[in-house]
Structure 1
């Protein structure tokens, strides 16, 4: 795969798509995913790890709610990663991640992930480039471990929004009473570091690509949800799962 340049990738849905038709397809995908997730849980031979990364206001929370909200909560877990605690910092950087990986039969969603430790830490000079490269190698080994030794399918999504759309959404957190609870002054500070984040992300895409990334145009929420749901559906179908039938006594 060639180097990914985010400036060369549109953040909008293709112009030939009809919003209402895609939203109807999303409803149909939700029903299909519900059945496939039930099958995954019943067979209990595979697991799925969904990693969702993106800039502030790229719609990570909304995507998780829309795509996974109607699935059986017994078979889906969501973990959000914020600044590490003192206890977490006393361990290696993957310690808090590994303890949340999915058991067989489960779908685990990471809202942010191990990649934060080579993104925000790099942008803010908490680690140097040499350490970042070592960490990305460790991430590759970690993901391969899950894939090879726990039958874990890993889906990595980057929610790709434009700088203009981010600014609009951050402003809504100031103006809209139903969204003010999301307001964080630090988000506006981080937005000023856009170019540094884009470079750090592109380095991740290049170095940690043994399990490929899906760059999701995310200015249109309905299209973002469609891409994630379709990719998850196709992955689950590819596992060729079967219900186990009656248990032997």
Structure 2
């Protein structure tokens, strides 16, 4: 469902993403990990069609994001870092606006809105302007728009950022319930989140993939993310 092949992005002399390749199948939840500046968000923006690759290709459900962008984006829900909204709109108005862009109207649109708001537990604030919401509720609005059209592919950049512990648990449960029918990529800094919901983990640093395996193979109990990175970067030198 997700195919990334030799994806590279340069900004002048700086290479943000360097020859990255991987695939994600239906039923997989991929945790995408890396330190700040590793290339995670740039990779996800290229996958979503917001940044043009310098070289390489990305496909969603078989559609090339550069050559067939409309078809690719129909099959994908994208939650970017700091998901933009229209802050003066109410939650219902904003999601309805997103739904109409997706081609829904009438009873179908109403049903889509009701399902997305129930999934993200937004019913209680549906008539509030988005600018009045807490960071956690704003994040849930961004997640709701990504889920609105029930896409087979989800690309979620820090989906639990700003949520309290109970809200984090609810979003993780939602991802687990959706996982069998979708291919999902989650960018996160939270190892607990990877262990809880991900079937695979990719670790990226300086634009290159360092590891791709089940979470249990990468992380020892009680490790921090910094320790995982250190183990991966030091291992080749120690072996040498």
Shorter-chain TM range is 0.3 to 0.5
Higher relative contact order by CA 8 Å / sep ≥ 6: 1 or 2? 1
TM-score by length of 2: 0.38
Higher strand share: 2
TM-score by length of 1: 0.37
